[in-house]
Structure 1
């Protein structure tokens, strides 16, 4: 059974879009047996270019049902179905995002008619829905409206089924149905797993750990291990006999424990995780005029860096943000390679260090503020995050710029007394992976509480 659908959205930033219209046709491989079509109030404005494209405007949706009001019907009509869409990665992602906002874990197997068309109808000039169906003589009305596009996708899918002489589509569907019927062993293990943030350990019959992972939802992550069809997942499914876990509450604590435990236990199915990838680093140097320059470069363990990044694109993104936040010069941050003043100076977001209008002392003070915020060098601090329950918090201890360990506390006096604090901290290894994990997490989670600790006498 297939749920062939099309979704129109508000447009906007990735994963911030809202659904404005959805059409679903339940198709048994021969004919449509059920359908659901509705406008949806996205509770956010529609981007003007999207309104022009679809003809759907904010006024039309004012009295339309909100997503939570139609969610039950969507679940019902797609249950035990393979979701089919033209560019299914988009429609399925949007649908899952909406359900995530409701706290519901929506998972379906999916098929993409773009990918199927490229395989079964090769050498087409275009695989966009409009141009493709037009070239195949399939009628399409109400282009860029959910109902018109979904109906065209139904007709296209019928054609693809008829062209699928190898029966790959049917085989994929049967395989998806089979995967849903998880064997009793895996179901028993899954039933015991918590819906919580933490680290989990997959054991084989002799108790040896064969895989370690972390997740904000351990049960959901294990379900993925037990239903995925890739080579590693199938091996894990065969070998697993038990799963143990440690709830951490904090995702940062879970990341640090995962990193530590993988290095210590070296599980055979964690080989891909043993080497963390953070190949870009932030360096500093003082130029001939006395200004501190910041520079992104290849991470070199022989050189002292301020912080590290997963990739160059991420590094550049943060550099632009910091230039704006700290009013730093793009030229001195390697973001502007021209001569004369930098671009930010022309829009009054740089104080003129690039043309020596600002003194090195004033400029360097703000650079040092940025460095202090993003480097743990010689710092004593406590990072406070979520605990394992509502009355508890987690603590990550840094001393002299080194990661010491993690712990959980319930009373303020436990962290106000350094000796008590050290007694509740579980020691962990300080290494470049742990440092990167902490710095990256702190950058991305602005609401974290960070407490500076007094220096020892």
Structure 2
């Protein structure tokens, strides 16, 4: 075999599956083209998914239940398949799909599957950036490839990838392809304290990741649309000597279907950090017994005044007329003073200082109050100005009678996250109706109110990018 075509052992992979969901669907056919110094070998096999397949999948692939009856299960094929894949560059079209399905199937058996993976969609985009479409059918037509066998069958599609690989090497310098492959596969040198196998474990998925020091201290936490890409970017040659790289001893991550899940995962990682990490984190979180908000109460007709309330005593998801979140009383008072000065509000009327009846407050003496404290401005007018100043800080009351399921799918339709939310609390994320019902059976959430979770969920509801499913109220 020409060393230019196979500078390392390669395996071109295509799978047919019972559907596109990692959690619920199974592999029904595997096709491999193995390429190495000894030549080219093909292998394909039907796989019994141990569940009926849909008419849609039969129409797409031509594979039906009768064909799969008597086929080997993935458990039976796993040792042979693992041997064929090991030590090779895993090449697939939309590699995230094929690699993810195989990894999930092996994981069900308690087996650890890792391999460097190359996506031919990404490679095509790098090699031919002038084109906008890179589906396999588009590439077949663009490069004049001949389809030998049925499309949407595993081995013919794996053969097409091998043909495409050879075609690209005829059209472009091998160095151009090699550099593009290196950029996509991304295998930088990790510092010695990190396990090199980490590179193969990182998912090409949305989510969040965190770097920790040798003492468990949280060094960095970020969300990402592609965990693998963003984590490995920290370890490029240009960043190798940075304090972050030198001090990182552990990397953790949690994948998600999309942006909402990534934001929630980031908070989960921060909360999972050790107490020492949390205390030194750049994202300090308020203690539950100190979190507070201003609640606007009516002292008399037309006379509205702010009163400080704490989350330990009031459910911020259900209380009316709350404005802003503050980690403690000191910060709440500082914010109210700042608001008062910006809008020429009376310190006495806001409860920020005590003066005798009819005596001017300090802000009026500094010409920054319009005189409600001495009867110069009507109380109702001051209240109206206070409401206007507070409006952008208003906390939205939970608008549903019961909890919500916020359903988020990834861009390929392969993963579906069901975020269970109860009164602005994130109860958990599940991947099936059975798991959702199990969570609901536990009753109302006992979690404390978290202002960051509130903001994330409120923003997601406003954006309308996730499907909303209202759930029945919990039984009394």
TM-score, normalising length: structure 1: 0.49
**Based on CA coordinates, which of the two structures has the bigger radius of gyration?**
2
TM-score, normalising length: structure 2: 0.48
Task: Give the structure, 1 or 2, with the largest relative contact order (CA under 8 Å, sep 6 or more).
Answer: 2
Q: Which has the higher helix share?
A: 1
